[in-house]
Structure formats: structure tokens, C-alpha cells
Amino acid sequence: MEAGGADVVSINDVAARAGVSRQTVSNVLNAPERVADTTRSRVEDAITALGYRPNTTARNLRRQRTRLLGLGLLGGDPDWTSTVINRFIHALTAAAAEQQFHVLLVPRGDDPVRTHLELHESGTVDGFALIDNEPDDARVQALADRRVPFVAFGRTHIRTPHDVVDVDGAAGTRDGVAHLAAQGRRRLAFVGWPEDSLVGEERLRGVREGCVAAGLDPAELEVVRRPNTIAAGAEAAGVLLAGRRPPDGIVAVSDTLAIGVFRALRGRGLMPGQDVGVVGFDDAATAAQLDPPLTTVRQPLVAVARRIVERIEVRCTTPDADHVRELIAPELVVRET
Amino acid sequence: MEAGGADVVSINDVAARAGVSRQTVSNVLNAPERVADTTRSRVEDAITALGYRPNTTARNLRRQRTRLLGLGLLGGDPDWTSTVINRFIHALTAAAAEQQFHVLLVPRGDDPVRTHLELHESGTVDGFALIDNEPDDARVQALADRRVPFVAFGRTHIRTPHDVVDVDGAAGTRDGVAHLAAQGRRRLAFVGWPEDSLVGEERLRGVREGCVAAGLDPAELEVVRRPNTIAAGAEAAGVLLAGRRPPDGIVAVSDTLAIGVFRALRGRGLMPGQDVGVVGFDDAATAAQLDPPLTTVRQPLVAVARRIVERIEVRCTTPDADHVRELIAPELVVRET
């Protein structure tokens, strides 16, 4: 033990007494569900015996915490799924306030990696929430390499350990297929994004799993892939409806494409929800306003935002805590399709 | 003059030598267009003669500037006009970066006034951009009363002096009417919001002015007012089309209501842009994706954001600078309606 001061028992003392690594003590404090019961008991006994108290305030002071979280803005078109981004910004700001953080918006700039690193190195922010990540996102790679506290909202191909919190898209589309199957729909189709989208491929996987669960042959699922525009959705649905086996149920990878599906159905005198079931994804602002209102998968953004802020706090206070990869299930909002 | 230091000539010295108030010197530095030419020359001569240099860095240090701007989030439904808010958030973040600021999101919380005041009193932010202001906005009143640096994006009924930067909505709808009149439309209608919206009333004023400019009698303009939903827009257009004098041109106060107008026209076998001209407002993400693409008024959010950041900087460096009330003209985006 070090001499002097009130906070003299260190995490290393606890680890030594319990016969475990410092990492394990850190896990007991921050992610106890990850530690075997017997180990956890031993560590908790050592904590009690030594009177160890993790001192968050002192830790914050030592690390010069600012309690600002950087939120990297979307790299692309700011209009893209703006309902979801807008809701997420609100949810993150509220979750941050609950946990004594504020959110700072990180400008895109010419060199996003440098912008993020400078904000951290200058002590402006404690860490980051990264959204709209690309499969090989340079920001994710750079921050993970340098062990900067951050959480990626959305998965990438990057293997360097880092925290990920994401929506369980497959669970959402599985629920969508179950909804269509419960209406007696048997000839299902999926209007998806091009194959380079990890998010889109996961939603397709959920559709296939949903088919199996409903006793439908996933090999008979019609899949068309289009960019995320209303016109492309209409064109895709037109191709499906003119095909050899016109669908009676369509899952769209986004509400934008689902709106296009509506347009194609209406243009052929077919009624969404009666002649053909339709399920979207996102619960965009327009989904409830369509005629008829669209059944869709609502992203659990409040839960995602809370979990992101919790994990950033863990990373700031316990840099060697295990990394997590968490999926949060979305909710099917059943309307009239 | 004070003794010692390099920055010994003060703004008061310049004012005394030029025989003007300190305020006037401040205006010459920050808003020269507001000062008569002869006065400006006299102040500029005094500045040159005394070698006065406003020292921004020293001023920032004295005032403990953080170069963080607070952005108060929308009070209401985060889905409301999310395209516009999303674009504005991007524009403000970029404009702030250009002027060495960062944007901090202010949570709504239970008591927005107290949240804003505490963020300023604690030195967390230098000032605020306030959006989605209500006619008697308590935040605007409280910050104006306490002379906290802020700019309101959007007007209110509050008379305590404060800086306002806003979109010239009347200019936008005037352009919309000119567009319809140029197509030969003579029987115009306006689908607006309830009368308690200052923004909505201004857009209606522009429609009336546009009628006069086009040689139409504004007394013959049909006006219906509805809440901002697609269904309400469809219902409103239905009322107009079933009326004594069905319109051949409709200006909607928002793209959301314009989408409803489309729905009503299509439901009656009428083609937007051919049978009835339609102009929206906002250039929401869906406007370009409608069939046919919607002619609408695009808000000049990049220019608004830049001007807001400039004015916050002025207020931080020169608290007694005159307040401004600036309107920035939007752009009519002509598509197929």
C-alpha cells in the first residue's frame, strides 16, 4: 500500500489479495456479469477486507475529465434517415445529461480522424460516440489503436478491440416476417440495399430466419437490392409484382424503400396491407402518416444512447475493462400493413 | 491611459478622442454598416492615431472564454421537420468550426431556462443559439434579461433587445406565388398552419404580397389552416377542391402539408404540376423524391448558421454592440410542380 492520503488502497492491492489480475477487479466493478461467481466473491471479499473504494472524483481529476462527449456527425448526406439521426441526437443528449455528461458535436472537417484525435488530445472531450460508421471506418480504427474512450454505434469490419452498441436488426426483421406470416402471407420478398451494407445484410439474415421460423422456405424468398430512394423502392416492387411469383408480403430494409413499395402498389390499384402486406424499418416520421399507416421496426434509440454513455464512462474510469459488443432489440410497430 | 502592458489603448480612449460613445466605437468595429460614414471616418482616424488594437485573445482570457456554443434542442417532437433541424445542426457545427467554436447540445431537461443559465454561469459555454422558439419563449426572455450572449434563430414577441437571425419566409412564398403565376395559375390557395404561428403568418403574408405583385386580388386567395400532418394537408386540399372555386395553384406552408395536397390531388385523378401547381416550404428530404418532384422553398441554413456564429462572437467580445434583426432570403427550388 502507498503511504498517506485517504484513498490509499489501490486496485492493485485488491487484485493481489484476491489472487486475480487488475483487469478482473476492474470487471467486477464495471461488468460483474462477465466474471464467474466464485471469482467475483473472492474479489468482493478482498474489496471489503481492504476497504477499497473506487474514487471517481479523484480519478476524474487525475485524468482531467471534462465530462464532454464528442458526437461525430454523419459523414454523408445529412438528409439520410434524418428522423433516426434526429431522434438519436435527442436521446444521446438526454442520456448524457442523466449521467452528468454534455454532448459536443464533432465537425466533419477535411480530416475526421485528426479532428477526433485533436479533440481528445487537447482534453476537450473525454471520449466519443461514433455513428454512421463505414465498414473500414478510419475513425474507429484510429481511436481503437490509441485506446481513446469511444463507443461505436454500429458494427464495422475492424478487429482492434473496441466497444460496440448496436440495434439487433435481424431481430427486427424476424418480427416483421412473423407479422406477415400471421396474416397468412406465404410469398415473401425483401427489398434491400446493395450487398456492401453490413446493416442491410443483417436485416436480410433476419428475414431468412423469420421465414424458417414461420415454416416458409427461405430459398423461395425473392430478394431485390436497390439504393435507398423512394423511386428505387417503387421500381423494385414493380419488378417483383411483374415476376413469375408476385409477393403477397414485402419487407423493406428501410421506410424510404417501403414508401416506394406503396407507390408501386397504389399505381397498380393494389392496397398496401390488404392485397400485399408491407413492413418497413426505422419508423421514420412519415411512416405513421402514410395511407394506410406503415407497419415498421422502430429503432430503440433511447436504450442505445443510455448504454453508449454508460460504456464511455466505464472506458474513462477503467481503461482496461473488457470491451463489449451489445445488440439491443428493436420494436415492431404494428399499424395497418 | 492605463500604465504598463502592450495593449494599453482602450476602447474608451478611442471614444474620447473621436468624441463618440464607446458603443459607437464598438459598432465601427463590429457592424460598420450601422454607422454614418462621417462618424465612421472619425472613429477610424482615432483608432489609427492611438494605435488601438482590439486584442481578441486577451479579451477571451479575461472573460474565460471556452469557445463552446450551446445549441438548445427542440422543445417538442423531435420528428418535426427533422430534415431542416438536421441540416441546421450540420450547418451550425461547420460554421462554428470555421470560427473556432464547437457546438454543445443543451439538453431539454425539466427547466430549460435554468439549464441554459447554469451552463453559462458555470463557464461551460460562451453563449447560445436558440431554435424552435415559442412566441413568448422563456429562454429568450431570461437570456436577454441577463445579457447572456445568444442569437435567436426565429422571431418571438419578446421586446427585450436581443439578436435575431431568421429566414425571410415571406420572400420565399412570394417567389412561390411568382412561380405559379408564371405558369398561368390564377386561382390560388394557401394551406397554412393555425394563426398562432408567427412563421406561418409571415409565409401567408408573402403569399398575399406575391398575389399583388402578380396582379391577382389577394382578397380572392383561399386560406385554410391545419396542423402540420400529411392527413391534414390532404383533408384541407379536399375542402378546397370541393369548393366553389377550386384552386389551380396551391402554396403549402410546409412540405408535410404539400405531401397531403399531393395525396388529395392523386385521389381525385388530378396530376400535381399539371392540373394544379403546388409549392411547398422546407425542401424536406422527401420533396425531391415525390412523384412528380415538388417545387419548394429551401431554407438558407448555411448562411443562417454562419451569421449566428458571427453574432455570438460579436456579443462575446463586445457585449454592448447594437443588437441586430436580420432576415436571410431562402431559395425557390423549382422542380416539376
DSSP A133-158: --TT-HHHHHHHHTT--EEEES--S-
Cβ pair B79:A94 closer than 8 A: no
Mutate which of A68, A74, A79, A306 to disrupt the B interface (most B C-beta within 10 Å)? A79
Range name among A5-9, A23-27, B190-194 with the lowest pLDDT average:
A5-9
Using a CB–CB cutoff of 8 Å, tell me whether A94 touches chain B.
Answer: yes
Q: Which residue has the cell 426483421?
A: A173
Q: Report the pLDDT value the prediction gives residue A135, as an integer from 0 to 100.
A: 86
Work out the minimum CA distance from B104 to partner chain A, whole angstroms.
4
Cβ pair A78:B86 closer than 8 A: yes
Mean pLDDT confidence for B193-211: 95
Q: Report the pLDDT value the prediction gives residue B63, as an integer from 0 to 100.
A: 55
Is a pLDDT exceeding 80 seen at residue B58? no
Chain B residues touching A286 at Cβ < 8 A: 230, 259, 286
Is a pLDDT exceeding 60 seen at residue A5? no
- The answer to whether the beta carbons of residues A289 and B230 sit under 8 Å apart is yes
Range name among B46-55, B183-192, B225-234 with the lowest pLDDT average:
B46-55
**How confident is the prediction for chain B on average, in pLDDT?**
89
- The answer to whether the beta carbons of residues B236 and B257 sit under 8 Å apart is yes
- More confidently predicted of B289 and B6: B289
Query: Where residue B79 falls among pLDDT bands split at 50, 70, 90?
Result: low
Report the amino acid identity of residue A90: H
Q: Which of B89, B102, B256 sits opposite A89 (nearest CB)?
A: B89
Mean pLDDT confidence for A169-179: 98
Using a CB–CB cutoff of 8 Å, tell me whether A82 touches chain B.
Answer: yes
Angle at A36 between CA A35 and CA A37, to 5 degrees: 115
**Containing H/E element for B160?**
none
Is a pLDDT exceeding 70 seen at residue B197? yes
Is a pLDDT exceeding 80 seen at residue B156? yes
* Percent of chain A whose pLDDT exceeds 90: 68
Most confident of A111-120, A202-211, A277-286: A202-211
**Containing H/E element for A325?**
strand A325-328
Is a pLDDT exceeding 50 seen at residue A251? yes
Minimum CA–CA partner of B228 in chain A: A289
Q: Report the pLDDT value the prediction gives residue B5, as an integer from 0 to 100.
A: 41
Give me the residues of A, 104-123, that contact B with CB < 8 A.
104-109, 119
Q: Taking CB atoms and an 8 Å cut-off, how many pairs form between chains A and B?
A: 112
Query: Where residue A272 falls among pLDDT bands split at 50, 70, 90?
Result: very high
Kindly tell me the sign of the dihedral angle through the C-alpha atoms of B2, B7, B13, B17: positive
Query: Where residue A57 falls among pLDDT bands split at 50, 70, 90?
Result: very low
Q: Which of A93, A109, A285 sits opposite B82 (nearest CB)?
A: A285
* Percent of chain A whose pLDDT exceeds 70: 91
Report the alpha-carbon distance of residue A303 to residue A312 in Å, rounded. 14
Report the alpha-carbon distance of residue B148 to residue B129 in Å, rounded. 11
- More confidently predicted of A79 and A12: A12
**How confident is the prediction for chain A on average, in pLDDT?**
89
- More confidently predicted of A99 and B80: A99
Closest Cα to residue B257, out of B240, B237, B285?
B237
Cβ pair B82:A86 closer than 8 A: yes
Among left, alpha and beta (phi > 0; psi -120 to 50; other), residue A283 is left
Q: Which three cell numbers stand for residue B317?
A: 467580445
Cβ pair A80:B109 closer than 8 A: no
Q: Which of B229, B230, B285 sits opposite A82 (nearest CB)?
A: B285
Range name among A268-282, B125-139, B179-193, B232-246 with the lowest pLDDT average:
B125-139
Q: Report the pLDDT value the prediction gives residue A75, as an integer from 0 to 100.
A: 57
Range name among A235-239, A295-299, B22-26, B98-102 with the lowest pLDDT average:
B22-26
Q: Which of B83, B85, B289 sits opposite A231 (nearest CB)?
A: B289
Using a CB–CB cutoff of 8 Å, tell me whether B85 touches chain A.
Answer: yes
Q: Which of B78, B93, B263 sits opposite A105 (nearest CB)?
A: B93
Minimum CA–CA partner of B92 in chain A: A107
In the sheet with B102-106, reading across from the earlier edge strand, the strands are A325-328, A163-167, A150-153, A127-130, A68-72, A102-106, B102-106, B68-72, B127-130, B150-153, B163-167, B325-328
Is a pLDDT exceeding 90 seen at residue B242? yes
Q: Which of B82, B93, B290 sits opposite A107 (nearest CB)?
A: B93
Chain A residues touching B259 at Cβ < 8 A: 286, 289
Q: What is the pLDDT of residues A196-225, one digit of tens each?
A: 888 999 999 999 999 999 999 999 999 999
Cβ pair A107:B94 closer than 8 A: yes
Q: What is the pLDDT of residues A130-143, one digit of tens each?
A: 988 888 999 999 99
Cβ pair A87:B79 closer than 8 A: yes
Query: Residue A80's Cα: distance from chain center in Å?
Result: 17
Q: What is the pLDDT of residues B263-288, one digit of tens each?
A: 999 999 999 999 999 999 999 888 99
Task: Write phi, then psi, for A108 (nearest 5 degrees).
Answer: -65, -55
Task: Write phi, then psi, for B302 (nearest 5 degrees).
Answer: -65, -45
* Percent of chain B whose pLDDT exceeds 90: 68
Q: What is the pLDDT of residues A313-330, one digit of tens each?
A: 999 999 999 999 999 999
- Hey, which residues does B188 pair with through a beta bridge? B249
Most confident of A35-44, A53-62, A170-179: A170-179
Give the up-direction half-sphere exposure of residue B186: CA atoms within 13 A in the CB hemisphere: 3
Q: What is the pLDDT of residues B16-49, one digit of tens each?
A: 999 998 888 888 876 777 888 899 899 988 988 8
Cβ pair A263:B230 closer than 8 A: no
Q: Which three cell numbers stand for residue A273?
A: 396491407
Q: Report the pLDDT value the prediction gives residue B4, as an integer from 0 to 100.
A: 39
Q: Which residue has the cell 452528468?
A: A100
Chain A residues touching B73 at Cβ < 8 A: 89-90, 93
- The answer to whether the beta carbons of residues B234 and B267 sit under 8 Å apart is yes
Q: Which of A82, A96, A259 sits opposite B86 (nearest CB)?
A: A82
Contacts of B122 (CB under 8 A, 6+ apart): none
Q: Report the pLDDT value the prediction gives residue A145, as an integer from 0 to 100.
A: 95
3-state secondary structure B102-128: EEEEECCCCCHHHHHHHHHHCCCCCEE
Q: Report the pLDDT value the prediction gives residue A78, as an integer from 0 to 100.
A: 53
Work out the minimum CA distance from A193 to partner chain B, whole angstroms.
17
Is a pLDDT exceeding 90 seen at residue A176? yes
Contacts of A54 (CB under 8 A, 6+ apart): A11, A29, A317
Give me the residues of A, 195-234, that contact B with CB < 8 A.
229-231, 234
ipTM of this complex prediction, to 2 decimal places = 0.76
